[in-house]
C-alpha cells in the first residue's frame, strides 16, 4: 500500500474511532497505535490538557505503557518540545538528537533519550487547547509536510472526540446532580424524622461527589450523622434559612473539588437547610402533641383522685385533703421534671423516689429518721407517674401514722420491681384503710398490673411488686 493510501486509511480509521465511542481512553489508545503504525514511527504519545491544573497529562502511548509508570508524566504548556507545540498552537519537528534540544524535558520514568526525531502537534478545538500528541523515531527522520498536515488533521479529529466526551461527561454529571437533589428532596418530603433526613443528605452528598467523608454541623456545634473520614481537601457550605444560618455542610475528599461540584454542594446545603427546618417543625408539632397528651392524662388523674377524695365516707379535714392533693400534684410534676431532664420516655425510678422522699420528709418528716436503699430501675413515663403517686401515699402514710424510723427500698428480684416502705410504729386500723390506701390499691392493680401487700411485723411494711415491662 502506497503512502497516500496509508495516510487516507489512517484518517478514515481515526474518524471512525472518534465516532464509535465516548470513552476517551479507548480513543487515545487506538489513535496512538494507529498513528505509530501508519507513519511508521517507533512511538506515539497522546496528552490531554487539564485546564484546572494547567497541565498536559499523558493519557495514552504506543511504545511505552502508561499503566506501567509509577508517576504519569505531566508538563505545563511551554515545557518540553510537546509543551512548546501546545503553547504555540503550532507543530514542532526536530529530525535528529531531539534530546539535545534546549526545550527537551526529561521524565525519570519515560525513556525518551534513545529517540532521535520528534514531531509534536497541538490538539485544538476552535483554537482552544485540548491536548497534544507526538510521534518519535529511534533513527533520524525528517517528517514531510504531508505527514505534518496529516498529524494535524488527526489531532483535529481527536479534539472533536475530546469535545464530545466532555459534553457527554457534563450531561452525565448534570443527570447525577439532578438525581442527587431529587433523592434529597424525596427524603426531606417523605421523612417525618429529622435524623432520617439528615442521614439521607449526608450519604447522598458522599455518593454525589465521591467524597471520603461528610457531615452536617448544626448551629450549636452538634455534628449530625458524620460519615467516612477526613480528606486532604475540605469544603464548607452554610445552611441558610430565611436569612439566618442554621448550620453548615462539611465535605472531605483526597482530591480538590471542581467548581461544578462546589455548586452542587451549595445546592445540597440549601436542601439540607430546608430539611433541618422541616424536621424541627415536625418535631415541635410531635412534642407539643405529646406534651398536651400527657398533661391531659395527668389532669384527668388529678381530677379522679379529687373525686375519690370527695366521695370518701370519712370525715374530711379540708386542710389535710388540700395537703394530700398538693403532694399528689407535686409527684406528677416530679415525673415530668425527670422526663424533661433525660429527654427520654423512660424514668429512673431510683432518682424519682429519692426526689419524692426528700420532698415529703421536708413537709411531713419532722423528727423522723428516714433511710433509703435504691437500685436504678427504668420505667416508662406513664407507669412512673402511677408509681410516684403510690410512693407518695405510702411514705406520707408512714410519716403521719408510723414510728420514728422509716425505711424505703427499691430493688429488682425475679424479674419484678419491688418497692418497700416500712416503719417501726405500732399497727393501726387507720393505716390499712382510708382514701389514700384505696388510691394505692387502684393504681397498683390497674396501672402497674402488680400487687400490694401490707405486713404488720414490728411496725407496718407496705410492699408493691410489679413487672417493669
pLDDT per residue as tens digits for the range 262-278: 888 888 888 777 767 66
Tracing cell 502508561 back to the chain, one arrives at 66
Q: Where are the alpha helices (DSSP H) in 318-427?
A: 318-342, 349-364, 381-401
Q: Which residue has the cell 432518682?
A: 351
Domain assignment present for residue 390? The answer is: yes
Residue 252 lies in a domain: yes
- Regarding whether 144 and 20 lie in a shared domain, the answer is yes
- For residue 219, give the CATH number of its domain: 3.30.450.40
Query: Do 334 and 410 fall within a single domain?
Result: yes
What per-residue confidence (pLDDT) applies to 299? 56
CA pair distance 385, 379, nearest whole angstrom: 10
Is 141 a member of any domain?
yes
Closest by CA position to 40, among listed 65, 17, 63: 63
CA–CA dist 217, 397 (Å, integer):
53
Q: Does residue 289 lie in a domain region?
A: no
Specify the pLDDT at position 287. 43
Residue 255 sits in the same domain as residue 122: no
Query: Can you tell me which residue has the cell 389514700?
Result: 436
Asked if 163 contacts 125 with a C-beta cutoff of 8 angstroms, the reply is yes
- Decide if 119 is inside a domain: yes
14 and 147 both lie in a single domain:
yes
Residues 373 and 226 in one domain: no
Same structural domain for residues 279 and 216? yes
Residue-range definition of the domain harbouring residue 412: 312-467
- The reported pTM is 0.45
Instruction: Give the model's pLDDT for residue 29.
Output: 85
Assess whether 331 and 428 both reside in one domain. yes
15 plus 111 within the same structural domain: yes
> Do 331 and 447 sit in the same domain of this protein?
yes
Task: List pLDDT tens digits, range 87-109.
Answer: 999 999 999 998 888 898 887 76
CA angle 307-313-315, nearest 5°?
Answer: 100
| Spatial distance between the Cα atoms of 20 and 27, rounded to a whole number of angstroms | 9
C-alpha cell at 180: 442527587
Looking at 137, 169, 201, the residue that finishes a domain is 169
Q: Pull the grid cell for residue 324.
A: 394530700
Question: What is the model's pLDDT at position 263?
Answer: 83
Rg (CA), the chain: 42
Q: What is the pLDDT of residue 290?
A: 47
Counting the structural domains of the chain, the total is: 3
Per DSSP, 103 falls in state T
CA distances from 22 to 9, 10, 44, 51, 171 (A): 21, 19, 21, 20, 12
Asked if residue 288 is part of any domain, the answer here is: no
* The pLDDT of residue 117: 93
Judge if 148 and 186 occupy the same domain.
Answer: no
- pLDDT for residue 286: 44
356 in the same domain as 277: no
**Does residue 211 sit within a domain?**
yes
What pLDDT is attached to residue 465? Answer: 92
**End of a domain among 246, 265, 283?**
283
Which three cell numbers mark 66? 502508561
Can you say whether the dihedral through the CA atoms of 34, 75, 262, 203 is positive or negative? positive
For the chain, residues with pLDDT lower than 50 are 192, 283-288, 290-293
CB-CB contact of 367 with 360 (8 Å)? no
Check whether residue 229 and residue 132 sit in a common domain: no
| Structure confidence at residue 249 (pLDDT) | 87
Is the residue at 134 inside a domain?
A: yes
| pLDDT of res. 203 | 81
Choose the final residue of a domain: 143, 169, 195.
169
Give long-range contacts, CB 8 A cutoff, 24+ apart: 306-313. 308/435, 308/438, 308/439, 309/435, 312/434, 312/435
Amino acid at each position: 500500500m502506497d503512502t497516500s493510501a496509508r495516510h487516507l486509511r489512517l484518517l478514515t480509521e481515526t474518524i471512525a474511532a472518534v465516532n464509535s465511542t465516548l470513552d476517551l481512553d479507548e480513543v487515545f489508545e487506538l489513535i496512538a497505535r494507529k498513528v505509530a503504525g501508519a507513519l511508521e514511527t517507533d512511538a506515539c504519545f497522546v496528552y490531554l490538557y487539564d485546564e484546572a491544573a494547567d497541565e498536559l497529562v499523558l493519557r495514552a502511548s504506543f511504545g511505552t505503557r502508561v499503566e506501567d509508570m509509577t508517576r504519569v508524566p505531566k508538563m505545563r504548556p511551554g515545557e518540553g518540545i510537546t509543551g512548546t507545540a501546545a503553547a504555540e498552537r503550532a507543530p514542532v519537528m526536530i529530525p535528529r538528537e531531539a534530546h539535545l534540544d534546549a526545550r527537551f524535558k526529561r521524565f525519570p520514568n519515560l525513556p525518551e533519550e534513545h529517540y532521535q526525531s520528534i514531531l509534536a502537534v497541538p490538539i485544538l478545538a476552535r483554537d482552544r487547547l485540548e491536548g497534544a500528541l507526538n510521534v518519535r523515531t529511534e533513527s533520524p527522520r525528517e517528517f514531510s509536510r504531508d505527514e505534518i498536515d496529516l498529524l494535524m488533521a488527526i489531532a483535529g479529529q481527536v479534539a472533536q472526540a475530546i469535545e464530545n466526551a466532555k459534553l457527554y461527561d457534563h450531561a452525565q454529571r448534570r443527570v447525577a446532580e439532578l438525581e442527587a437533589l431529587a433523592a434529597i428532596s424525596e427524603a426531606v418530603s417523605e421523612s417525618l424524622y429529622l435524623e432520617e433526613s439528615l442521614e439521607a443528605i449526608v450519604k447522598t452528598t458522599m455518593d454525589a461527589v465521591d467524597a471520603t467523608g461528610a457531615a452536617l454541623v448544626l448551629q450549636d456545634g452538634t455534628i449530625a450523622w458524620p460519615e467516612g473520614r477526613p480528606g486532604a481537601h475540605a469544603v464548607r457550605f452554610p445552611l441558610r434559612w430565611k436569612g439566618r444560618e442554621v448550620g453548615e455542610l462539611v465535605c472531605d475528599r483526597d482530591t480538590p473539588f471542581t467548581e461544578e461540584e462546589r455548586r452542587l454542594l451549595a445546592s445540597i446545603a440549601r436542601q439540607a437547610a430546608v430539611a433541618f427546618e422541616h424536621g424541627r417543625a415536625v418535631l415541635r408539632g410531635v412534642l407539643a402533641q405529646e406534651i398536651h397528651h400527657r398533661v391531659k392524662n395527668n389532669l384527668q388523674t388529678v381530677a379522679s383522685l379529687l373525686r375519690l377524695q370527695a366521695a370518701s365516707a370519712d370525715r374530711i379535714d379540708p386542710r389535710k385533703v388540700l395537703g394530700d392533693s398538693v403532694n399528689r400534684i407535686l409527684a406528677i410534676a416530679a415525673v415530668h421534671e425527670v422526663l424533661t431532664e433525660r429527654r427520654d420516655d423512660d424514668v429512673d425510678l431510683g432518682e424519682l423516689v429519692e426526689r419524692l422522699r426528700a420532698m415529703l420528709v421536708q413537709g411531713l418528716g419532722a423528727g423522723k429518721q428516714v433511710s433509703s436503699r435504691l437500685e436504678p430501675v427504668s420505667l416508662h413515663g406513664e407507669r412512673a407517674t402511677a408509681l410516684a403517686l403510690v410512693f407518695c401515699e405510702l411514705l406520707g402514710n408512714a410519716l403521719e401514722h408510723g414510728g420514728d424510723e422509716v425505711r424505703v427500698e427499691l430493688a429488682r428480684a425475679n424479674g419484678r420491681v419491688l418497692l418497700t416502705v416500712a416503719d417501726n410504729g405500732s399497727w393501726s386500723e387507720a393505716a390499712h384503710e382510708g382514701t389514700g390506701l384505696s388510691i394505692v390499691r387502684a393504681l397498683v392493680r390497674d396501672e402497674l398490673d402488680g400487687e400490694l401487700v401490707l405486713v404488720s411485723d414490728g411496725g407496718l411494711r407496705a410492699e408493691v411488686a410489679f413487672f417493669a415491662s
